[in-house]
């Protein structure tokens, strides 16, 4: 886990968030940390390098259909 994730994980967790019809391009993938009840619907992440999704202590629904 990188330093940024460690810093964020000390804060209150994100809960019950839905991302729908989202397309992101970025240098690195989307990091979801210290989160539960996250739903992805029609989400596409296009990183320049690495995996599109980086999860740390996260409960994410719909990841199997995300790209």
Mean pLDDT, 10 residues at a time, the chain of 67 residues: 56 92 96 96 96 96 88
Domain count, the chain: 1
Q: What is the pLDDT of residue 6?
A: 56
Handedness of CA 11, 21, 40, 46 (dihedral sign): negative
20 Cβ neighbours under 8 A, 6+ residues apart: 39, 41, 42, 43
Calpha distance 51→11 (Å, rounded) = 25
Range of the domain at 13: 3-65
Calpha distance 5→28 (Å, rounded) = 14
Calpha distance 35→9 (Å, rounded) = 9
Q: What is the pLDDT of residue 66?
A: 83
């Amino acid at each position: 886990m990188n330093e940024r994730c460690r810093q964020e994980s000390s804060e209150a967790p994100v809960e019950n968030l839905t991302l729908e019809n989202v397309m992101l391009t970025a240098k690195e993938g989307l990091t979801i940390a210290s989160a539960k009840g996250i739903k992805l619907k029609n989400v596409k992440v296009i990183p320049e390098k690495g995996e599109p999704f980086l999860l740390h202590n996260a409960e994410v629904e719909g990841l199997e259909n995300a790209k």
